[in-house]
Chain A
Amino acid sequence: DAGVTQSPTHLIKTRGQHVTLRCSPISGHKSVSWYQQVLGQGPQFIFQYYEKEERGRGNFPDRFSARQFPNYSSELNVNALLLGDSALYLCASSLSRSFGTEAFFGQGTRLTVV
């Protein structure tokens, strides 16, 4: 069975541009979450989507947005990119949003903003 897949794996963008990152969860998983990991730190929660609705949001500016599609895949969009947005973006899928559901992560998208 395929795990969580993310695309692209690497991306270079210029300040002020917009970027879209994509994630396909494990088959049967309905919850997708996004995390940002900057160098030397643990991942930080950005969003959770479940059944195509935003269920949770971390402390990130409105430049960050996401959506989930009927097939449970998801997109993370970042507008007006800043140098500080350079990071590894990780997508996690889980079976549901119930208490204590195990999360599985994709390989990440490494975004560099120049």
Chain B
Amino acid sequence: GIQVEQSPPDLILQEGANSTLRCNFSDSVNNLQWFHQNPWGQLINLFYIPSGTKQNGRLSATTVATERYSLLYISSSQTTDSGVYFCAVEKGGSNYKLTFGKGTLLTVNP
């Protein structure tokens, strides 16, 4: 099956710092989503971005499908940004499931 690798696995920042999270995937994809998992376990949709660039406030994401990677940028980080960030992809031709990476645990200190 498709492989999804996220890096770094852990990231510790001071409030106000910027960060870049990376997601590499091993095959062509129909769908790529970034999620933030809150402390209660819910996956919050950040971006639906199979290709191109999107921005939402302090967050932005870029997916280069031909090179099989996606980046999530967090600017001016806040303590509320802490949590686990997941990248999930849907392999081309298997339009029924998302394959998740292992996530990046982000800790933002005040």
Kindly state whether residue A16 has any CB partner on chain B within 8 Å.
Answer: no
Question: What is the size, in residues, of chain B's interface with A at 8 Å between Cβ atoms?
Answer: 26
B28 to chain A, nearest CB (A): 11
A105 x B42 contact (CB < 8 A):
yes
Query: Least Cβ distance of A4 to chain B in Å?
Result: 9
Chain B residues whose CB sits within 8 angstroms of the CB of A108 once the complex forms: 40-42
A 75-114 binary contact with B (CB < 8 Å = 1; else 0): 0000000000000101010000111111111111010000
Q: Do A102 and B33 touch across chains, with their CB atoms under 8 A apart?
A: yes
Distance of A48 Cα from B40 Cα, bound (Å): 24
Count chain B CB atoms within 10 A of each CB in A35, A98, A102 and give the residue with the most: A102
Contact across chains for B101 and A48 when beta carbons are under 8 A apart? no
| B54-62, B73-81, B88-96: which lies at the interface | B88-96
Contact B30 A107 (CB under 8 A): no
Are A100 and B31 in contact, CB atoms less than 8 angstroms apart?
yes
- Residue B98 is within 8 A (CB to CB) of chain A in the complex: yes
Would A102 and B31 count as touching, CB distance under 8 A?
yes
Contact partners of B33 in chain A: CB under 8 A:
102-103
In contact, A45 and B98 (Cβ under 8 angstroms) = yes
What is the minimal beta-carbon distance from A86 to any residue of chain B, in angstroms? 13
B103 touches A42 (CB 8 A): yes
Q: Is the CB of B45 within 8 A of A104?
A: yes
* Nearest CB on A from B32, distance (A): 9
Q: Nearest residue in B to A104 (C-beta to C-beta)?
A: B45
Chain A 14-43 per-residue mask, 1 if CB under 8 angstroms from chain B, else 0: 000000000000000000010101001111
B residues contacting A by CB (< 8 A) are 4, 30-31, 33, 35, 40-43, 45, 48, 50, 86, 88, 90, 92, 94-103
Listed A/B pairs (17) with beta-carbon separation below 8 Å? A35-B98, A40-B102, A41-B102, A42-B100, A48-B96, A56-B94, A58-B97, A90-B43, A98-B95, A100-B30, A103-B98, A105-B35, A105-B42, A105-B43, A108-B40, A108-B41, A110-B41
